[in-house]
Chain A
Amino acid sequence: MTSVGQSVLRKEDARLLTGQGRYVDNLGAAGMVWAYIVRSPYAHARIVGVDVSKAREADGVVAAFTGGEIEDAWPGGLPCFWPVSDDIKLVKHLPLATDRVRFVGDGVAVVVAESRAAAKDAAELVEVEYEPLPAVTDVAEAPADGAPQIHDDAPGNVAYTWSLVTGDVDKVFGDAEVTVKERYRQQRLIPAAMEPRGTLCEVSAAGDITVTTSTQGPHILRTAFTLVLGIPEAKVRVIAPDVGGAFGSKLDVYAEDVIAITLARKLGRPVKWIEERSEACVATIHGRDMIQEIELAATADGKITGVRTLLTASMGAYLQAVTPGVPLLGAWLYAGCYDVDAYDFHCTGVFTNTTPTDAYRGAGRPEATYAIERAIEALARKVGRSPVEIRRLNFIDSFPADIASGLQIDSGDYHASLDKALEVLDYDAVLAEQQKRRDAKDTKQLGIGFSTYVEMCGLAPSRILGALRYGAGGWESLSVRVLPTGTVQVMSGTTPHGQGHATTFSQIVADRLGVDVGDVEFLSGDTAVVPTGMDTYGSRSLPVGGVALYYASEKVVEKARKIAAHLLEASEDDLDFEAGRFSVKGSPDRGMTIQETAFAAWAAHNLPEGLEPGLEATFVYDPPNFSWPAGCHIAVVEVDTETGDARLHRYVAIDDVGNVINPMIVDGQVHGGIVQGIAQALWEEAVYDESGNLVTGSLLNYLVPSAAELPSFELDRTVSPSPTNPLGVKGVGETGAIASTPAVVNAVVDALSPYGVTDIDMPTTPERVWRAIEAGRG
């Protein structure tokens, strides 16, 4: 029986459960030294001077460098791969600043010592003289007249402008019987993967470089190191060992990797750098941070006809690898799963004196989903319809669907997931309980919030990425090799950091080849073992990599069929292939297993004329479309209307992610995503003070929630297989984070609606809830 569709327990677990994980900080090398980066305490300042001489003299110190002393190593600075527009300002971003620092955490010098402690001690001896400059951290203030200018070559702090317009927007809005205009704030988030970043760089006597680093993108990094440092790509090996969570934040080309390589080459010793958590809060990219203005045009009964969106998105101080593109990954989704005629999207990317932003779980799509799912409820209130009615009225309901923003949704059934969610919730009962509490003027009020989302993931068709000026393709490469003794190796260009690739991908190949899941070995995350790949982001591993694996497996089976036909003296068409065995139709005794064909392919004593020895195949898959998971999430919150405390009471999630390979793993992805989205709604916010200091600079005050703040979740699924790939799968890694935030905030607003509250900023802190109630009471 196939394991596809079964909750096969994870192969990854045994090692991780017994403390045998190979995270970067668990690794070392003979003669290794430690690097520690000296960072700017100012949000914006001119560097008057950096003196590392005292640090150089300190005990255990091997070397210390100012940015200026090693800037020759990286003439172009760190790369941005996504110059989204003609007007983009690709400002220079040096791994260590030399003349000006632009955010708290910008590196200015590095100390290398024999131990972690000695490096940290000596870093305190580096003397930096700064001349503070005025700073701006607020995305709304940065483009204003008179705001401090962060880059000389980006006037008005504008990084780029970008638009997407379809349909006759002016006419649709002119004709509209009803419009609603909302302004939302996507607060800045800190990804906070549990493992802080780290890197270990070794250089051989021959100059071969091995970088073991906590990354989602070993292949991207290998190419990037060549671009930044001018090292021949063939000399660079990048290893992503076990990576302790990432959520987009470990996709980047970070200064510290480049610095570690430079130091290791200079010093001839392995160099390790491990991020401290409070350092991670400023030195690893942030997410979100934008102002959204969204306007809906509609008929009097609530049928949406047009959507107009204006974003002002914070880039932070510099453009990291895909910073400019992140808001645009949501550009097509501001009408959500609703059928509209006209669509207008405009985004201005602006620089601020903050940690650069980049991809964080969902990257652009959570922001879009939040805006439309909040706005549609505003429209519902305006036209006097329920949140359920207004959605049903507007759902796209025939597939594939060409949407107003210009792309095509592969498949879906939005009514089905809404129906199921209402049923699981027992909506009427919850409504009755809500009414009871309202009537009783209970201190603890219930709110019910919906989010019917669709998102585009499985990044991405290369031709579309090209049209968007992204600097790489969106394909994935997978190889399958059947070894002579019958075990199977999968070489994956996409690398896991918790998603369970080893198990899911083993299930796919075991299903195609008819072997045991346990006989499949999964290899990834080392450019010497898997030289080709596009890595892990954008919920692409399964719908791009998994599909590549399907096709690679098919190629293996077809080659094995040729060998079996030859050895069984039958025609290929006369062979059945079932449960890993070829047999001659009508003579089931005449047959051979795929493992036997593998041995024959290896021995090569007797192969069909012209067939290459060996049983392996590679498939590079470029998806024809994105994948479009969708679903309905319903949050029920309980709000203490006296203290303002909002707690999640229940949470129902019905997702349609197409066919499911491993339900247990898919549910796990959904759970984690939901909590990251809930955390944005209720707890998390990166806050800068007036001088540009990050005041939520540790896990003491950046409120990553614990189990104690959350309920268990009620999950179920509907299934609309994707017609664009033979597995029928869609991505699932980000759906939870995309769906949950607006569900929770809609629920908080609903709970407070008896007080006249129609909007509240995220996170909905007790204080914000209290203020909203006070304002609503007038």
Chain B
Amino acid sequence: MKAGGDEPADEVLVARVRAGDVAAADQLVRRHLPLAYTIALAVLGGRTDADDVCQDAMVRALEKIDDCRSPSRFRFWLAQIVRNHARNALAKRRVRGGPSLDEIGEHPAPGHTSESAERGELRAALLAALDRLPPVQREVVLLKDLEGWDHRMIAAALGVSEGMSRQHLFVARGALRTALGAEARRDHLEGPRHG
């Protein structure tokens, strides 16, 4: 996968990381952390441990970088590692019966501006709506609308056909619009929620 501008491509960075180049590793991590977070979020459905999962998966990827057979497809390889880590975390959480973000709510920290509070509320509403989707639909809609992947990439990453990817996207977008519309109507009827 080519990087934009003068930035070195993934395969170049992977080769440097294999030689122990810290700066290259840092660049690779920063480039792909948002994607790792998106995948973790998709599998965990808005769980609070998406951060931990994506960090664990990133560390694992750096440790096992020799196993990446196609460095130019590093992001697909990383996505699979994150997906596996997230599924394991989800299984453990189910056993322990931990709460989801939907259950505990995600509120902006005190001292935040009203704009960031508004964004926090929107984020919480989105997470709650995403949590109601099946994992494959969550992943398709997040990869498409958040990461900007095309259906060919999504199909390759998830092992589904491009047609199925389009179908998942269509259903997921519809469900999210419905859920967010209902949320907005409820807010309008009940007024802003505090605390």
Q: Do A and B come from one complex?
A: no
